[in-house]
Amino acid sequence: MIFFSNKIFFFFLALAIPSAALADGTGHSAEYRSYAQQYAEKMAADELSAASIGVLALDAEGDTIVSLNPDRLLMPASNMKLVTTGLALDRLGGDFRFVTRIGYTGEIIDSTLSGDVYIMGGGDPTIASDDSIAASLPELFGEWERILECAGIRRIEGHIVGDDRFFGDIMPEEQSWQWDDCGTYYGAGISGLSFFENKQDFKAAAGDSEGDPVKIEEDFPVCGWMTYRNESRTGAPGTGDKLYYYTSDLAPTGIMRGTLGAGISSRTLECSNKFPAYTCASYFADWLGMKGTECTEGPADTGYFAPEDGPADVNAINEAGCTYSAELSGIARMTNHDSNNVYAETLFHILGKSVSGSGDYEQSRTALKTLLSDMGLSGYKTAIRDGSGLSRQNLLSPSFLCGFLCEMEKSRGFGDFVSSLPSPGDKGTMETVMTDHDMNLKCRIRLKSGSMTGIKCFSGYIFPGNASEYSGRPQEKPIVFSIMINNSLLSQYRMQKIADRLIFLISAGRQD
């Protein structure tokens, strides 16, 4: 095997892509166009000629390494999470924690509560999550049980109410999300009281022959109050998983449609649960029952499954105690490493709550605009609909994203922000990124990916040395970059390879 140094590679690349053969139009004179600039122009004129592409990269001094349609508004997909997590860390600090409160209504006489217990959600998206940062369910429920014991409650003549009113009266999804996304785990949406990231796992197994029904079974959580319709069928061998789950918070009904290829004996489907607060109350009521604390009226919530006389006014609930989530720094890291939409949307809404007192979508969008303006970024054209990037009505430009990344370098949350971003090759969304490149380069890069059908985006930092050793010294200032490809008919694999090469060339700087 023959290895080439970077200098030798760039020499041969320069021979392969002569400057005179490429249109400029970027303000760069031919002799100063970087190899990254040449490659971006070549791809835009060749494989991506029918697509929309925007690229910008700036070195530590703010000089341009590559600039191609930098102000073009494009769909960022999950690059939107950069803005959401960055603003949350800047506004709230990495040590911020969500609070879940346990309270009750009514009177306690001889260890019996004549009233309802309330699980008052504070937006914590990690409750019952299987993420490493979350408390285990037995640990969390044990804490809630001890809070009730300390309040003198050993029997409940009433309900366990899952209270999700923290963000206000909002829909779990943003209205511009696609309907077939809303039934998936990544389109589950948010709740003031989340449970298992607001998803529900099913086990699916194809039938013996094409056209046979697909066997669908609940896995976790088991939601006995739901009515399910299974309209799915076994597809031809080799057709894979084309199952779609449709559900909403309007009624406790779920419909499975589509096909599962013959020969697939078992598969886990991660779908939406639109009643997470009720699910949380149900599982906690079962826990208390197993521990000897009877709840005579069972679970309830503050919406579809509200108690007969309606939910209590928040001010009428007696708080008995509370529990805390993991720190925001850890939540932001999971958001960006796993591209977790529920976490991102929760951060989006907690920004609205912290700025305006309301966590609805409109107030959260206004909060982001305010915070971006405070950063000096109000001059950029943007369209922001959500915090995760799932909406195809989000529009950002490479120049905005680079401007945001530069401003984050001045933020109190920058250390946590950089730590929240994965490097190429990390587990999660980065496992297939830059697989052909040297680890010495990959450890210098921290970035966020964004992918949808026809979309591939990468934005982030390239440090002079190992990103994990960054200490903020001027000589360690990073390159900032944003690569955005939209409306492409290329495969995700091919778009990935183009982005890989471009990131590699950007890492070399201007090469003047």
- State pLDDT tens for residues 113-129: 999 999 999 999 999 99
Please say if the pLDDT value at position 99 is more than 80.
yes
Omega cis (within 30) before 221: yes
**Band of residue 197 on the pLDDT scale cut at 50, 70, 90:** very high
d(CA 430, CA 447) in angstroms, rounded, equals 9
d(CA 291, CA 482) in angstroms, rounded, equals 53
Q: Within 13 Å and on the Cβ side, how many CA atoms surround 242?
A: 12
To the nearest whole percent, how much of the chain has pLDDT over 90?
90
CA distances from 176 to 194, 380, 382, 388 (A): 22, 22, 16, 13
**pLDDT greater at residue 195 or residue 25:** 195
**Band of residue 32 on the pLDDT scale cut at 50, 70, 90:** low
pLDDT at 66: 98
Closest CA to 278 of 341, 336, 191, 353: 191
Please say if the pLDDT value at position 7 is more than 60.
no
- State pLDDT tens for residues 88-98: 999 999 999 99
Please say if the pLDDT value at position 364 is more than 60.
yes
Please say if the pLDDT value at position 312 is more than 70.
yes
Residue 379: exposure state from Cβ atoms within 10 A (0-12, 13-18, ≥19): exposed
pLDDT at 510: 66
d(CA 512, CA 493) in angstroms, rounded, equals 31
pLDDT at 41: 98
Q: Are 458 and 485 in contact (CB under 8 A)?
A: no
d(CA 65, CA 458) in angstroms, rounded, equals 16
pLDDT at 467: 94
pLDDT at 5: 43
Please say if the pLDDT value at position 384 is more than 70.
yes
* Amino acid sitting at position 252: P
Does the CA dihedral 31-37-41-47 come out positive or negative?
positive
Residue 128 gets the label, from left (phi > 0), alpha (psi -120 to 50) or beta, of left
Please say if the pLDDT value at position 13 is more than 60.
no
d(CA 382, CA 389) in angstroms, rounded, equals 13
Q: How many CB atoms lie within 10 A of CB 392?
A: 17
Q: Are 495 and 465 in contact (CB under 8 A)?
A: no
Kindly report the average pLDDT of the chain as a whole number.
93
**Band of residue 470 on the pLDDT scale cut at 50, 70, 90:** confident
Please say if the pLDDT value at position 37 is more than 70.
yes
Residue 196 gets the label, from left (phi > 0), alpha (psi -120 to 50) or beta, of left
Reading the block at residue 499, the tokens are 């982005």
pLDDT at 308: 94
pLDDT at 303: 96
H-helix or E-strand containing 346?
helix 341-356
154 pairs with which residues across the strands?
none
Please say if the pLDDT value at position 1 is more than 50.
no
- State pLDDT tens for residues 215-274: 999 999 999 999 999 999 999 999 999 999 999 999 999 999 999 999 999 999 999 999
| CA angle, residues 354, 358, 364, in degrees to nearest 5 | 75
* Amino acid sitting at position 459: S
**Band of residue 416 on the pLDDT scale cut at 50, 70, 90:** very high
d(CA 417, CA 337) in angstroms, rounded, equals 12
- Give the burial string for 407-417 (b: 16+ CB within 10 Å, else e): bbeebebbebb
Note the pTM of the prediction, 2 decimals. 0.92
Strand order in 445-452's β-sheet? Answer: 64-68, 52-58, 479-486, 455-462, 445-452
d(CA 259, CA 241) in angstroms, rounded, equals 7
Mean pLDDT of 156-165: 98
pLDDT at 475: 81
Q: Are 291 and 145 in contact (CB under 8 A)?
A: yes
To the nearest whole percent, how much of the chain has pLDDT over 70?
93
234 pairs with which residues across the strands?
260
Please say if the pLDDT value at position 75 is more than 70.
yes
Closest CA to 472 of 403, 422, 402, 413: 413
Please say if the pLDDT value at position 360 is more than 90.
yes
Closest CA to 125 of 78, 77, 172: 172
Mean pLDDT of 195-222: 98
Please say if the pLDDT value at position 6 is more than 80.
no
Query: What is the SS3 assignment for 324?
Result: strand
* All residues at 6 or more sequence positions from 49 whose CB lies less than 8 Å from its CB, including other chains: none
Please say if the pLDDT value at position 81 is more than 50.
yes
pLDDT at 472: 78
Query: What is the SS3 assignment for 156?
Result: strand
Closest CA to 182 of 396, 345, 331: 345
Reading the block at residue 285, the tokens are 């009521």
pLDDT at 300: 98
- State pLDDT tens for residues 476-505: 899 999 999 999 999 999 999 999 999 999
pLDDT at 511: 58
